[in-house]
Amino acid sequence: MFTLVGVSHHTAPLALRERVAIGEQQLPAALATLREQVGPSAIVSTCNRTELYASGAHDERELIRFLAERSGVDAALIERHAATRRDVEAVRHLYAVASGVESMVVGESEVLGQVRAAFSAAVTAGSDDALLSRLFHTAIRTARRARNETRVGAGALSVSTIAAQQARALCPDPRRATVLVIGAGEAGRLAAESLAERGVRTLLVTNRTHERAEALAAALGGEAVDFAQLPDTLSRVDVVIAASGAESALLSRGDVEAAVARREGEPLVGVERDGAAIDGRWR
């Protein structure tokens, strides 16, 4: 038996999803607390969903209370936007999530790695059991079969490449554009690759760990920028794509306004991929 409680882009607004999201650094402690309060569990938390998978039959209010306590969001608000599934429905849902069917961009491939990472984190935290192990292993196998035996992934795009396309739409001639990608993880890599394929004039990459930015920039013929110079770099770029899982804003509204002022009327386009990296939107 399984109990699933979670919020996603299907059920909850972005502001709520951002508040209940559980970052990679928070995951071990969150899993330990969830196991203590509920029992063997796994957490799938991406930019568009946070879902708790608990082994056994549980009152969904237990899981909602866990999300409320760790996020500071009122439990009644979470309950209004949460979806609960049990047993076979929970299994089918995870299979659909892993296969990309439930994604914002249907058929995207990133989510399979995120589901695999979620189960790996549960194992590392000692929060798994035989039922969860079977659930996640069969979900991963099902997702592989779906991609190999159906057209669910045919021509599929990721949210990162959609962000790159949006930037291209707002800045039609990439050969004249200087683009900054914030974040050298999987999402940042996909966005940067998409931009490089479109022939941007200059591709800049920055990341908290400078070595990762250097590696990605070198692979794509770009330039790594020191993370500490991020606010100053804004004034010399045309497009910014934020693909960071940062829990707080990396760029303030003041940073953006100062950069725009130095550009003397030249537009600055911002596209955000993963949540709270930019304080405010601009165009």
One domain, residues 144 and 86: yes
Q: Is 281 exposed, middle or buried (0-12, 13-18, 19+ CB in 10 A)?
A: exposed
**47 is a catalytic site residue:** yes
**Residue with the larger pLDDT of the pair 241 and 280:** 241
In a domain, 231, yes or no: yes
One domain, residues 11 and 129: yes
One domain, residues 20 and 145: yes
Which pLDDT score is estimated for 159? 66
pLDDT tens-place string over residues 186-220: 778 888 888 788 788 888 999 988 999 999 999 99
In a domain, 278, yes or no: no
Among 20, 30, 47, 240, the one annotated catalytic: 47
Q: Report whether pLDDT(280) > 50.
A: no
Which pLDDT score is estimated for 39? 96
Domain boundary pick from 149, 169, 185? 149
Q: How far apart are CA 215 and CA 211, in angstroms?
A: 6
When pLDDT is averaged across residues 2-20 and rounded to a whole number, the result is 94
Q: How far apart are CA 55 and CA 41, in angstroms?
A: 6
* Confidence grade of residue 117 (pLDDT, cut at 50, 70, 90): very high
pTM as predicted: 0.73
One domain, residues 175 and 204: yes
Q: Say if residues 22 and 62 touch (Cβ distance below 8 Å).
A: no
Q: Report whether pLDDT(282) > 70.
A: no
Task: List 271's β-bridge partners, or say none.
Answer: 241
pLDDT tens-place string over residues 147-171: 899 988 776 566 666 666 666 666 6
Q: For the chain, what is the domain count? A: 2
Task: List 278's β-bridge partners, or say none.
Answer: 251
One domain, residues 135 and 173: no
One domain, residues 124 and 37: yes
Which pLDDT score is estimated for 245? 67
Q: How far apart are CA 196 and CA 80, in angstroms?
A: 42
When pLDDT is averaged across residues 13-35 and rounded to a whole number, the result is 93
Which pLDDT score is estimated for 276? 42
Task: List 179's β-bridge partners, or say none.
Answer: 203, 239
One domain, residues 130 and 260: no
One domain, residues 164 and 238: yes
* Confidence grade of residue 143 (pLDDT, cut at 50, 70, 90): very high
In a domain, 44, yes or no: yes
Which pLDDT score is estimated for 163? 66
In a domain, 88, yes or no: yes
pLDDT tens-place string over residues 46-95: 878 999 999 999 999 999 999 999 999 999 999 999 999 999 999 999 99
In a domain, 279, yes or no: no
Q: Say if residues 63 and 90 touch (Cβ distance below 8 Å).
A: no
One domain, residues 121 and 74: yes
State the Cα torsion 83-163-110-3 to the nearest 10°.
-10
In a domain, 283, yes or no: no
Structural domain boundaries, residue 210: 159-272
Q: Report whether pLDDT(98) > 60.
A: yes
What CATH number does residue 186 fall under?
3.40.50.720
Domain boundary pick from 100, 125, 149? 149
Domain boundary pick from 119, 149, 179? 149
pLDDT tens-place string over residues 214-270: 999 999 999 999 998 888 888 888 888 887 766 667 777 888 888 888 877 777 776
What CATH number does residue 70 fall under?
3.30.460.30
In a domain, 118, yes or no: yes
User: Mean pLDDT of all residues in the chain?
Assistant: 86
One domain, residues 252 and 202: yes
Q: Report whether pLDDT(283) > 50.
A: no
DSSP the chain: -EEEEEEETTTS-HHHHHHH---TTTHHHHHHHHHHHTSSEEEEE-SSEEEEEEES---HHHHHHHHHHHH---HHHHHHH-EEEEHHHHHHHHHHHHTTTTSSSTT-SHHHHHHHHHHHHHHHTT---HHHHHHHHHHHHHHHHHHHHSSTTTT---HHHHHHHHHHHHS--GGG-EEEEE--SHHHHHHHHHHHHTT-SEEEEE-SSHHHHHHHHHHHT-EEE-GGGHHHHGGG-SEEEE----SS-SB-HHHHHHHHHHTTT---EEEESSSSSBSS---
One domain, residues 223 and 170: yes
The percentage of residues in the chain with a pLDDT greater than 70, rounded to a whole number, is 86
One domain, residues 257 and 228: yes
In a domain, 228, yes or no: yes
The percentage of residues in the chain with a pLDDT greater than 90, rounded to a whole number, is 53
Cα dist. 253→5, 101, 141, 210, 249 in Å?
35, 36, 44, 24, 9
